[in-house]
Structure formats: C-alpha cells, structure tokens
C-alpha cells in the first residue's frame, strides 16, 4: 500500500467514524461555547454584518479544529443555450484535507455532462492569501491580482478537465462583492453578477460560449451547521443591470442560528450594494411535487420592499437536478427556474418575463 493510499484510507475511516459518532458528541461538548458566543453577538441582524471583501476573504480559510467543508461555487448561463456549474469542495480537519472538484454542463436545462473526482492532500495546493487552487501541479482556479489592483474588478480563470468534460472560462465581475461572516460559518459573493467567456467541452465537442455568471464561497460548514439550520433555499434574480442574491434558512431550534433567517443583497453595476433587512423579505413555496422520495417545492414567490428597492417575482421550476448525497450536504437540488416579475432600484425598473435563472434547495435531513 503506497503513501497516498494510506492517507486516503485514513481520511475515509475518520469520516465514517465522524459521521456515526460525532453529531451528538460534538453538539454536547461545544454547546456551552456556542451559546456564550451567540450571547455576545448582536442577536438581531444588522446591515453592517455584510461588508466589502478583499481577495484574502475568497482564499482558503484554513484547516479547522473540527471537521468542516469549504467550497468555491461558479455558475454561468450562456447565450448559446448552455450553462455550467464548476465547484471546488475541500473537506478539512486539522491539516487533513480532501479536494473534490466537480463540473456540470447543461444543454438547455438538461444535464449532459457531470464529472467529479477526489484528490488527497498530496495532489493539490490551495492558497490562504488569495483565491488559488492547483491540482497535480496545474492551476485550475486563478485570481487575476493585476486586474484587481488596476481596475478593482475581480477576474477568475477556471481551467480544468475531468475525463472528457472540461471548462476554460474567464469570469469578470460587473458588480461589487461582499462578505457575510458569523462566529461559525462564512459566505462571500465575490461576483454577484459578471461576464463569462471561454470554452466548455464534453463528448468530444469544444464549444465557444459567452454569458453571465456568478461566484460565491462558503466555509466552516460542519455537522453543527444542520443543528442550527436544517435546510436552505438560495438563488439570484438577475436583470440587465440589477442583481439580487437571496437566501432563506430554516431553523432547527437545536442550536442558535447565527445566520439570518432571510438574506438579501441587491447589487448594481455602479459599484454599490444594498443590504435588505430580513423583516422586509418574504419568501414562500407555493406548489410541490413528489420526487426523490419526498415532496419538493416547484413554485416560489419572492417579494421585498425597502426604501428605493422593490422586488416582486415568481419562480417556476422548469427542471431540477438532484446531486448524489454526500457528507453534510445530504440532499441537494439545483433548479432551473423561469422568473417573471419586477426588480427595481431608485429610477431603474427591470421587467423579467420567464427569464431562466439558477437556484438551489439544500436539506440536511
């Protein structure tokens, strides 16, 4: 048995033991710390909790003293009737890291290519100073520091191939990014809305694509996370110049929720963002189908009004795809939704008429 195999088996055994034994143990030994930290924190969400980001915020946040997951998410819808998702997920614990990259390519809303792979700590490098991941000595996620310093824009080069599925894409921001961090989990949205150009490949096809894209990054998601919130919805409402990133998180009541139950941040292309008070966000699921052995919502209504911001849209499922169950993220569906309604800010009002967007539904139970 070589060194790589021993490390991989060690991590695999650890995770199996962790899944079986740690949930109750972890909750009990850390409950006191959770409550004491939460009491010190302002319990009401404040708009100041969301702020501007720097490149280090989108870098690897480092190994943790408890098993957790950190991931970088990119998606884009192309004018050529294709779309793509690229993800890099790190499972980390006290210096023991596994990397799981994935690529999903859709034609229309149909999944036509889906590849993923797992790498041991010997096979990849990730930076704690700026966004950068290297797999088997090849850079796959590169942040352009020069463009950032000269223009303030965020540009990422995502160049990776798994089997016969690959992407070579440039993501360039059109809007200002932001960060939302609690005492436990964190979320950055470096590109709320951006321009994407490059190529995608599958089944021996090489396709030139252009479109709009999005990039965010989460960290410190552990088995304590589902003890605070058992599920969430997340999505974007993207117009020509306005973009709303939103989320709704369902509390469990087991441990205090440190994320706000409702989140909404409106971005413009004038380098400004507006944080929406959770009390002004109203999200509802209004229709369900029985799928994957459970009832899954397929029709949604999102509305909010705050000062100069107004959003009133319906989101109707066109297609949804469930990913294979994995550690912590046990149930995950990626939706293609048809969005109809309005999004407005100050003197700008944009009307959406059955515009295809991407959203997700994640359940821990």
Averages of pLDDT over runs of 10 residues in the chain (365 residues) are 50 45 35 35 62 96 83 97 97 89 97 96 96 98 98 97 97 96 87 98 97 94 63 90 91 60 91 93 92 89 96 97 67 94 97 97 77
Q: Do domains 52-222 and 226-365 have the same CATH topology?
A: yes
Q: What is the pLDDT of residue 259?
A: 63
Using alpha carbons, select from 118, 298, 124, 272 the residue that is nearest to residue 192: 272
Query: Going by C-beta distance under 8 Å and a sequence separation of 6 or more, which residues neighbour residue 205?
Result: none
Residue 1 in 3-state DSSP? coil
Query: Going by C-beta distance under 8 Å and a sequence separation of 6 or more, which residues neighbour residue 347?
Result: none
pLDDT tens for 38-60 read: 333 334 566 678 999 999 999 99
Using alpha carbons, select from 106, 102, 114, 107 the residue that is nearest to residue 73: 102
Q: Where are the alpha helices (DSSP H) in 125-247?
A: 145-151, 225-228
CA–CA–CA angle 191, 231, 296 (5° rounding): 100
Give CA 284 to chain center in angstroms.
21
Q: Report domain extents, the chain.
A: 1-39, 52-222, 226-365
pLDDT tens for 185-244 read: 889 999 999 999 999 999 999 999 999 999 999 898 776 665 555 578 999 999 999 999
Q: What is the pLDDT of residue 275?
A: 95
Burial of 66 per CB tally in 10 Å (0-12, 13-18, 19+): middle
Q: What is the pLDDT of residue 250?
A: 74
Q: What is the pLDDT of residue 123?
A: 97
Class of domain 226-365: mainly beta
Q: Where are the alpha helices (DSSP H) in 41-186?
A: 145-151
Class of domain 52-222: mainly beta
Q: What is the pLDDT of residue 27?
A: 34
**Number of other CB atoms surrounding residue 156 within 10 Å:** 27
| The two structure tokens encoding residue 68 | 């957790």
Stated as kind and residue range, the H or E segment containing 205 is strand 205-221
């Amino acid at each position: 048995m070589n060194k790589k195999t021993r490390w991989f088996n060690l991590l695999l055994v650890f995770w199996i033991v962790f899944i079986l034994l740690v949930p109750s143990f972890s909750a009990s030994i850390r409950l006191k710390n959770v409550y004491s930290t939460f009491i010190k924190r302002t319990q009401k969400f404040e708009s100041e909790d969301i702020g501007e980001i720097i490149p280090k915020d989108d870098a690897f946040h480092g190994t943790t003293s408890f098993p957790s997951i950190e991931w970088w998410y990119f998606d884009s819808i192309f004018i050529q009737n294709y779309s793509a998702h690229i993800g890099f997920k790190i499972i980390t614990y006290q210096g023991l890291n596994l990397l799981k990259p994935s690529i999903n390519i859709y034609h229309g809303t149909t999944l036509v290519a889906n590849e993923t792979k797992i790498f041991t700590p010997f096979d990849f490098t990730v930076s704690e100073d700026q966004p950068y991941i290297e797999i088997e000595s090849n850079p796959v996620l590169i942040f352009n520091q020069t463009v950032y310093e000269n223009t303030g824009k965020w540009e990422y080069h995502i160049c990776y191939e798994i089997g016969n599925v690959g992407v070579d894409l440039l993501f360039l921001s059109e809007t200002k990014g932001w960060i939302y961090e609690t005492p436990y989990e964190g979320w950055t949205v470096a590109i709320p809305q951006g321009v994407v150009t490059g190529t995608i490949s599958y089944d021996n096809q090489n396709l030139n694509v252009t479109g709009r894209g999005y990039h965010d990054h989460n960290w410190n998601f552990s088995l304590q996370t589902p003890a605070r919130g058992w599920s969430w919805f997340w999505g974007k409402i993207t117009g020509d110049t306005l973009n709303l990133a939103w989320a709704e998180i369902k509390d469990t009541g087991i441990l205090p929720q440190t994320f706000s139950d409702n989140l909404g941040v409106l971005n413009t292309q004038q380098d400004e963002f507006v944080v929406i008070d959770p009390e002004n966000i109203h999200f509802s699921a209004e229709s369900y189908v029985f799928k994957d052995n459970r009832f899954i919502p397929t029709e949604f209504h999102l509305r909010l009004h705050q000062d100069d911001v107004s959003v009133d849209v319906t989101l109707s499922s066109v297609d949804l795809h469930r990913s294979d169950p994995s550690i912590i993220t046990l149930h995950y569906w990626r939706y293609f939704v048809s969005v109809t309604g309005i999004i407005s800010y100050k003197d700008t009002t944009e009307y959406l008429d059955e515009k295809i967007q991407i959203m997700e539904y994640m359940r821990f139970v």
